[in-house]
A and B are shown apart, each in its own frame.
Chain A
Amino acid sequence: MDILVSNSTILIGMAVAFGLFMAWGIGANDVANAMGTSVGSKALTFKQAVIIAAIFECAGAVLAGGEVTKTIRKGIVDVSSLGSTPELLVYGMLASLLAAGIWLMVATRMGWPVSTTHSIVGAIVGFGAVGIGMEAVQWGKVGTIALSWVTSPLLAGAIGFALFRSIQKLIIDTDDPLGKAKKYVPYYIFLVGFIIAMVTLLKGLKHVGVNLPFEQNMIYAVAIGMIFAFIGTVMIKRLKFDAKADKKFHFTNMEKIFGVLMIFTAIAMAFAHGSNDVANAIGPVAAVVSIVQSAGEITAKSATPIWILILGGAGIIFGLVTYGHKVIATVGSGITELTPSRGFAATLAAATTVVFASGTGLPISTTHTLVGAVLGVGLARGIGALNIGVIQTIFLSWIVTLPAGAILSIFFFFTFKGFFS
């Protein structure tokens, strides 16, 4: 106990520093995958993508990031088992942050496809099982999380397939794709706004202290969806179409309308990513801060302080500004085959899946979910060629990242433990 009180400033300072480091890493690298499809399909310039990412990653973290933060904080390691040694959790969380941050940096430098989510979960499980004891890890919850890593790409794939087929039926395969696109795209925009708003209202806002009855949430979500759709309709009205462009590729003008839709999907994606992945950085920070501030009392009930959520958002923006814009440009320019209609189907499918996972508190990998969504569109015969070797690298990243995060975190855990006592 005394250790926590006498070192409280150092411990919180370390947590904030490591958390910022981690958030910086997410902003620098992870966000590029989330925004890449929007830039690649040329719906957004990469400058616009950076601005959207900066605003909505932060909004996602603050408004809807609470559940996942809670899971990372106290869902994986059973805090009640610690009893008289709460400082172990503090060391462990610090160790996890440092381990995941360093591992991400090394892996990125080596060009390995790793996931921030997997690194941090591996790290927390690692210190929990070895540093505290096997029984301290809530294996049931860990199993659910691991399962969600498999189901989330599958779900995103199914949604992507369905969305794309619906576009084909309603818009592309008709006499007048352009007219039908003008007619139906606002409905899709409504859908984007509605889903995001609904999940946020139902699951996210209580962490910010707002709690509304279901019907009222429904009304607000519909209203937000309608506002989105209205803005979208105005933007579509202002588009200029060139009949000559359709000579070379018959769907050029129709794709322009999907370009508008893609802006909203990109917003949804940034929001979804913020709501899920920022927790990887701030969950451990929140855990450390709450234990240290309550001088060792592990309060299972306390909500995540808003300033920590904002800290995560700020770290991400910092990562984006210092480094991420380059990565977004690189990723975006690598995806040249994606038309806005496919980009929309894939991105919305992924964003929906991620936002639902955030609502249920499951930390999943945005990148893997997006890969699943793109494959879903590919299964509907919508993309010229996909390299399915990527699936292999995803499996590989699971196998490598989990133990790597765990081992590093165990190492740092014992280092901190020795250092402070």
Chain B
Amino acid sequence: MKLITAIIKPFKLQEVREALIAAGIDGLTLTEVKGYGRQKGHTELYRGAEYTVDTLPKIKLEILIEDDKLKVVTETITSSAGTGKIGDGKIFITSVDDVIRIRTGETGGDAI
């Protein structure tokens, strides 16, 4: 099993979700996060003075999948979240030992 953690631009969320649903992914966890990378932050103004806000809002998606879906999911996110500009985000892939569905106690692939 793999845990996909994707950081994307907030305005792309709707497209990414629709693409993932079309690709057969049934669930994900979503967090509003802030951070910076090559895109850096943005400037704001206060009474004529400019100051830098060095973090940008992003959306973090967490998706747990079977190994065989890895390629489909990463390609789906890459194509639906991409604008071609700096700041499109990243995808992290982590191996997961096990997963348990709390309600039933199912484990492994059955619990995804």
- Do A and B pair up? The answer is no
User: A interface vs B, CB < 8 Å?
Assistant: none
User: B interface vs A, CB < 8 Å?
Assistant: none
